[in-house]
Structure 1
Amino acid sequence: MHRRGLDVVALTSPESVYYYAGLDHLGYFAFTLLVIPHDGAPVLVARAMERPTLRAQVPWLRHRAFLDGAGPAREIAVVLAGVVPRGGRVGLERSGMFLPPVLDAQIASAVPSATVHDVTTMLRDRRAVKSPAEIACTRQAARISDLAMAAALAAAGGGSATGRGNGGGLTDTKVAAQAVHTMIAEGGQTPGFAPLVRPTAALDQEHVTWSGRELRPGEGLFVELSGCVQRYHAPLSRTVYLGRTPPGAKRAHAAALAGLRAAEAALCPGATAAAVYTAWQEAVTAGGPSRTGRRPPLRHHCGYLVGIGFPPSWVGGGDVLGLRADSRAVVREGMTFHLMSWTTRPLGHVVSDTVLVTADGCERLTATPRDLTVL
């Protein structure tokens, strides 16, 4: 704040409020604003009914409460008027999911003589490199991710008595139930996303999950999930096959795995996100055009920064630092990424892991085997 000449920073995303203040609850669906002045105590604008939680978790914050039905505009104005000097500079986190345009405008009108500066990227960059304590949480989350994946795949293979539906068939719901049970039983919190469990016929429906559908021999099953420890996530995904592999599965698995390994090799301090994407792209397409003469279509990214996450996401909000062809972001030691290798030809196949950027490369944190798996 001092370097940028900011008198006040106002945080609106759950991830930022948690990172700077430690408030861990599921009440972020209602507007929450953490106001940090350059001098003086921080103030939290939040629903009145959250007062007991705030007293228990963040008693050192001043709480400016608003009642249901009244809205937070008046309280925002009172707080900002008390901490922003005339002609001051306010840094505002413009979180797309948690700052409605009407409240963005009200924040500006509450301090008419001040200038408002978008600090969303600055705050995201501050959270990008993890401390040793944050890395320890991520390692614990990775352990839970592996255990939950093992439970899900055991159920999909008929290895759990509770994996059978009422009609005797295996359903995607029962697979998800085993994953969720394990995540909680092993000490994890509610993750930002529920486990994503669906047949590969619906693989391109990226954010849908179980529906009670019966799984059938010969089809693929996609499972993506993440353990969560103190709000830190370590996602992974696997594509497996039930009973037998369909034509093209071995080629798709080989291409996806080659891409993931190439991305791991390229992910090191100083590399750009675009360079990592290029390494992944070249590995996935190394087999050349398909029999139709066309190269396989490629994803818009091969992974993204991961860490603190609250529902409805484990990526830390809508502004995601992705490993994309057009990104100039520089990889730094201490970042954690969900590396994804997703192919669509000759058929859809996905394999992904969470990795930690180290001083000389990257370390894989999730340890679930990457073999072509037939259950």
Structure 2
Amino acid sequence: MAAGLDALLVTPGPDLRYLTGYDAVALERLTCLVVRAVGDPVVVVPQLEVAAALASPIGELGLGMLAWGETDDPYALTAATLPGVNRVAVDDRMWAVKALAFRHALPDAEQEAAGTVLRELRMRKDAAELEALRVAAAAIDRVHARMGEWLRAGRTEREVAKDIVDAILAEGHVRADFAIVASGPNGASPHHEVSDRVIAAGDPVVVDIGGTTAQGYCSDSTRTYAVGEPPEDFLAYYGALQQAQEAACAAAGPGMPCEEVDRASREVLEEAGWGDLFIHRTGHGIGLETHEDPYIVAGNRQLLEPGMAFSVEPGVYVAGRHGARIEDIVVCTTDGAERLNIQPRDLAVLGG
């Protein structure tokens, strides 16, 4: 391998699905794709999972399959396919107990994370992957378009979130990964999920929602709503937040360092006097995982390239009062950026 590795060891998770299409269930029994610098790849799989593996896309790839029984040592079996290796990389999501078992089975091999190799592949989406992300984004946009049906005074955050989750599934996702409904002071906590707080008239409400489609690709979009007329101190910063999000999207073109996209949104809020209340990075990559490379954050000099997909989501958070965030998934193109989420970004004032 060009990276100087003798082998990659990839267990169930997004890396395995990316490389083979096999969405294997992560179990205590070892399933592992072994990609060797010398020799063909092989899949180590429990005997009772062979049928499932063959029925998945992995069955069409013609890979060698090494099945193991309940009394076998699958780590020793895997090690036997890797004689004399010096450097192996394990996938970033491998369970610690499995990584440690491989260390015991391959005591002479230096072990490192495979993300340094696989991130270079996964963060550049091909046409099929981009289309899968467009489908996911359109589905989550349709959920946001229905927010007026559910979000109103007198209902709890939890009740609204349940309706959102049902809609995410109805719109073609196989899983709702999160449904943040953060009303009033809860909106000042970026990762607040839901509570039994009753939404009141005049509350700003941050709604950050996403899920995973059957193709394995993720959606993620945030809009901020007001249930009736919002307070003046909220309106004082919402317009600046819109401008910050626009500035970052406009900056997100090929050749632009990720940190400069972050800087573009941050400078708008700093000039407006709200910079200290923007307390997180501007965005994260998205694909088979909601959060993956590239990260849109200060210090990341990675240059954007066509096919890279990521969120642009600046926010303002006023502790004890309210908060706001606007988030779109954006794809770097050959001459700029394409927003996959197209729901309006103006503050939507719903019935109080």
TM-score normalised by the chain length of structure 1: 0.83
Given the superposition, is the C-alpha separation of residues 348 and 205 from structure 1 closer, same or farther in structure 2, using an over 3 Å criterion?
closer
Alignment correspondent of 2:187: 203
Alignment correspondent of 1:370: 345
Structure ranking higher in strand proportion: 2
Letter in structure 1 aligned against 2:245? L
Query: Structure 2 CA distance, aligned partners of 1:200 and 1:331?
Result: 36
Query: Structure 2 CA distance, aligned partners of 1:361 and 1:239?
Result: 26
Query: Structure 2 CA distance, aligned partners of 1:203 and 1:28?
Result: 34
Return 5+ residue gaps in structure 1 as ranges: 159-168
- Of 234, 240, 243, which aligns to 2:228? 243
Query: Structure 2 CA distance, aligned partners of 1:36 and 1:206?
Result: 39
Query: Structure 1 CA distance, aligned partners of 2:184 and 2:12?
Result: 33
Between 1:16-25 and 1:31-40, the stretch displaced more is: 31-40
Given the superposition, is the C-alpha separation of residues 63 and 154 from structure 1 closer, same or farther in structure 2, using an over 3 Å criterion?
farther
After superposition, what is the alpha-carbon deviation per residue over 1:219-272, rounded to whole angstroms, capped at 9, x for unaligned? 121111124331112311011111111122222211211111111111111111
Query: Do 2:187 and 2:317's aligned partners in 1 also have CA atoms closer than 8 Å?
Result: no
Query: Structure 2 CA distance, aligned partners of 1:315 and 1:33?
Result: 23
Alignment correspondent of 2:328: 353
**Shift of the alpha carbon at 1:52?**
4.1
Query: Do 2:10 and 2:32's aligned partners in 1 also have CA atoms closer than 8 Å?
Result: yes
Alignment correspondent of 1:161: none
Given the superposition, is the C-alpha separation of residues 362 and 174 from structure 1 closer, same or farther in structure 2, using an over 3 Å criterion?
same
Letter in structure 2 aligned against 1:104? A
Alignment correspondent of 1:36: 35
Query: Do 2:138 and 2:341's aligned partners in 1 also have CA atoms closer than 8 Å?
Result: yes
Alignment correspondent of 2:3: 4
Match of 1:262, SS state, is: helix
Query: Structure 1 CA distance, aligned partners of 2:272 and 2:159?
Result: 37
Query: Structure 2 CA distance, aligned partners of 1:304 and 1:251?
Result: 27
Whether 1:315 and 2:285 are equivalent positions in the alignment is no
Letter in structure 2 aligned against 1:315? H
Query: Structure 2 CA distance, aligned partners of 1:260 and 1:32?
Result: 42
After superposition, what is the alpha-carbon deviation per residue over 1:105-156, rounded to whole angstroms, capped at 9, x for unaligned? 3212312333334332221121001000000100000110101112234311
Query: Structure 1 CA distance, aligned partners of 2:27 and 2:315?
Result: 32
Letter in structure 1 aligned against 2:314? S
Between 1:256-265 and 1:243-252, the stretch displaced more is: 243-252
Given the superposition, is the C-alpha separation of residues 63 and 185 from structure 1 closer, same or farther in structure 2, using an over 3 Å criterion?
farther
Alignment correspondent of 2:149: 154
Letter in structure 2 aligned against 1:353? D
**Shift of the alpha carbon at 1:302?**
0.4
Query: Do 1:248 and 1:347's aligned partners in 2 also have CA atoms closer than 8 Å?
Result: no
Query: Structure 2 CA distance, aligned partners of 1:128 and 1:299?
Result: 25
Given the superposition, is the C-alpha separation of residues 344 and 133 from structure 1 closer, same or farther in structure 2, using an over 3 Å criterion?
same
Alignment correspondent of 1:164: none
**Shift of the alpha carbon at 1:185?**
1.9
**Shift of the alpha carbon at 1:94?**
3.6
Alignment correspondent of 1:171: 156
Query: Structure 2 CA distance, aligned partners of 1:328 and 1:170?
Result: 45
Given the superposition, is the C-alpha separation of residues 206 and 77 from structure 1 closer, same or farther in structure 2, using an over 3 Å criterion?
farther
Whether 1:111 and 2:106 are equivalent positions in the alignment is yes
Alignment of 1:56-71 (within 5 A): 56-57=55-56, 58-59=58-59, 60-61=62-63, 62=65, 64-65=67-68
Query: Structure 2 CA distance, aligned partners of 1:213 and 1:364?
Result: 33
Return 5+ residue gaps in structure 2 as ranges: none
Match of 1:222, SS state, is: strand
**Shift of the alpha carbon at 1:334?**
0.5
Query: Structure 1 CA distance, aligned partners of 2:329 and 2:203?
Result: 26
After superposition, what is the alpha-carbon deviation per residue over 1:21-64, rounded to whole angstroms, capped at 9, x for unaligned? 11225x22656532222322421446x65444323213355254
Alignment correspondent of 2:282: 302
Identity %: 27
Alignment correspondent of 1:165: none
After superposition, what is the alpha-carbon deviation per residue over 1:176-195, rounded to whole angstroms, capped at 9, x for unaligned? 2332222222222214x222
Query: Structure 2 CA distance, aligned partners of 1:44 and 1:219?
Result: 54
Alignment correspondent of 1:20: 19
Given the superposition, is the C-alpha separation of residues 134 and 171 from structure 1 closer, same or farther in structure 2, using an over 3 Å criterion?
same
Query: Structure 2 CA distance, aligned partners of 1:359 and 1:277?
Result: 20
- Of 314, 336, 343, which aligns to 1:341? 314
Match of 1:116, SS state, is: strand
After superposition, what is the alpha-carbon deviation per residue over 1:48-92, rounded to whole angstroms, capped at 9, x for unaligned? 65444323213355254575xx8x9x312211222x121443222
